[in-house]
Structure 1
């Protein structure tokens, strides 16, 4: 009898039994939410497994585990609160007989449920994009490599906006249709406020349609040179030669002069060799001739190379070196250039010439010494000595 009386004891409008049910359901949900999430994610993966060529269950669980845990805990939280009775707000109870606290907590709960569902859907979109990215890597075209992240971001933004509208209509009772219709009045102001974002979005479609570059291309825009790693619906991300990560607006990418270095048939090397003025004409001719023959016979260059005695600089005799390396790979290009540079040094040294460096020669003019007779003649008060005798 005492135990039953204790269970039936009321506190704040609820018996001890109600509180025990509340605590038990919450404890069960907290302890088993991870296990149930793994089980649920495994069942969901069976649906999408037929579209996946690999065993992506670890990736699927890693993406969906936390959203499913939150969603399942909210389900247990709902049943836990169902076991309790809520006190009434006196004003609301007199006028409408509605539980104020229960209504407030229900609205808050609905917000969290919509957030959890949205989170799970966004993670599911990430998984679909992960599968499509692996398929795109197996194709020779680079267009699908940049379409996958673009449409992934676009879909996630659309889902977030849709979830926000559902929250307004379901939780707060807002007339969504009327709100959308009312946006036509303030649409012009919104368009001006989001002018740059809209321009970047339109620029992204221009990039996809015109394809001045694709993911993986080495490009130079303004003073930035690097490899395109991602093209989004607002910006393009470039990994520079210094390995820094630069994010540029899409509008900037199509407004500025862009040089797609990956589409070049050859890579050009153009520089000067500065030789000292002590180099004779015979040495100059021999150096130019041997360099020209080496460049023409090199297996990695074409026949457009030019070695010419081009200028007489203030401190050197200059030989122009111009050649084209038949490769698109940057590492191979610098390796060939290094090989040719060693050969240039070898040819110059073999012909007995020397490399010049900026220098100046200064000539000092010395005045002749005065005659001895004039130097020994005494002077007094500005008159010669003979005048004072």
Structure 2
């Protein structure tokens, strides 16, 4: 047909139709092709705990982008820039070079995006396996090495673009950083400190994910140890992000290594309370504490008549709870406090005003 042989911008209509058709086909089949490719990848790394749907959701977008880029490359084989535009060759800076290098950058980015999503998917598998073990150490290592792999891949992608797309000698670039590299290192001083601190945390293992720690005014459970910082969930439910350099530079207490948690209260009675009544109250409180199911029996603590204060007679109650969980500690403390109030009332004694806690 003469119409198909006619030209638009020095390109035959037939070639333009092929170009449009390939792009349309690519847009229509990208979802099907991405699912098919995801199935192939899933067969090599499948795991019962991580569903195929999860794999599809993580890989679909980067795979679709990669497929579209391939279709665009195939489609452009049917077209060429009009000679009337007088465009310079793609080896010389101009429109052709800009288009080519942009395409190459996006193509390399799409491949890197697929690999990053694969790393995240594989890390999900290892996290499921780590959750089945008793130790919490592997729960901590999996996200750390996932982040390490992603950072390494991102840096590799950047230098790959410099080397392949922009024809830069990467080795010479890295070697020639010199003073410039030192300036960058100084500018990123805190970031590097946090990175080295995270490595020290993994070597020394002062705590692992799930441990309850206290540093400065922050107390809570460790949720994640990352490259730069550690996330701690406090008792009130808020999440505090602590730079890793602070965790290695300050005194840190790991509450989870305790065999027990200590509770201490000061009971202030009125000064007209008789010695016999005080002795009976002390004895009954000690018996109540010893009878509680959560008391640490090897070292239960002691209740004693502590002394005579300003306007009060003081009884010191100290006991150890057989758990490092702060919730169990507070629950036990509450239950014993209720019984202490009952003991004081049954013996006809009264609390001094004000009532305080040691």
* Alignment match, 1:48: 45
1:24 equivalent to 2:21? Answer: yes
Residues 1:5 and 2:6 are matched in the alignment: no
- CA shift for structure 1 position 99: 9.9
Cα deviation 1:41-92 (Å, max 9, x = unaligned): 101111223xx35453222111111110111011111112221111355373
Counterpart of 1:334 in structure 2 is: 330
How far has the Cα of 1:37 moved from its partner? 0.3
Provide the rounded CA distance (Å) in 1 between the counterparts of 2:350 and 2:77. Answer: 93
Residue 247 of structure 2: aligned partner: 253
More moved, 158-167 vs 227-236? 227-236
Query: Bigger shift: 255-264 or 296-305?
Result: 296-305
Unaligned runs of 5+ in 2: none
Alignment of structure 1 residues 119-268 onto 2, 5 Å:
119-268=113-262
1:280 aligned onto 2:274: yes
Corresponding residue number in structure 2 for 1:386: none
Please point out which of 61, 64, 70 is paired with 2:56.
Answer: 61
The answer (yes or no) to whether the contact 1:86–1:101 under 8 Å persists in 2 is: no
Match of 2:105 in 1: 111
Q: Give the distance between the partners of 1:110 and 1:320, measured in 2 at CA.
A: 75
Tell me if the contact between 1:67 and 1:119 (Cα under 8 Å) persists in the aligned partners.
yes
Would you say the 8 A contact 1:110–1:171 is kept in 2? yes
Partner of 2:71: 76
2:87–2:96 Cα contact (<8 Å) kept: no
2:313 is aligned to 317
Q: How far has the Cα of 1:154 moved from its partner?
A: 0.7
Distance across 1 between alignment mates of 2:3 and 2:19: 16
Q: Give distance in 1, aligned partners of 2:321 and 2:49.
A: 41
SS at 2:88 equivalent = helix
Q: Which has the higher contact order (CA 8 A, sep 6+)?
A: 2
Do the aligned partners of 1:71 and 1:113 also contact (CA within 8 Å) in 2? Answer: yes
Q: Is the 8 A contact 2:23 2:72 kept in 1?
A: yes
Q: Who is 2:287 aligned against? A: 293
Alignment partner of 1:233: what SS?
A: coil
CA shift, 1:244, in A, is 0.8
- Per-residue CA deviations over 1:140-174 (Å, capped at 9, x if unaligned) read 22111111111110110010010011111111121
Identify if the C-alpha distance between structure 1 residues 326 and 55 changes in structure 2 by more than 3 Å, giving closer, same or farther.
closer
C-alpha contact (below 8 Å) 2:87/2:94 kept by paired residues:
no
The alignment's TM-score, normalised by the length of structure 2, stands at 0.92
| Per-residue deviation, residues 265-313 of structure 1 (Å, max 9, x unmatched) | 1111012112223423332222112112222333322344221222433
Q: Please give the secondary structure, in 2, of the residue aligned with 1:259.
A: strand
SS at match of 2:264: strand
- 8 Å contact kept, 1:310–1:319: yes
Distance 2:265 2:103 in 1: 70
Question: Measured at CA, do residues 100 and 10 of structure 1 come closer, stay the same or move farther in structure 2, by a change above 3 Å?
Answer: farther
Mapped contact 1:87–1:99 kept (Cα < 8 A): no
Return the TM-score normalized by structure 1.
0.85
Task: Provide the C-alpha distance between the structure 1 equivalents of 2:293 and 2:151, rounded to a whole number of angstroms.
Answer: 52
CA RMSD of aligned residues (A): 2.1
Distance 1:107 1:350, change over 3 A: same
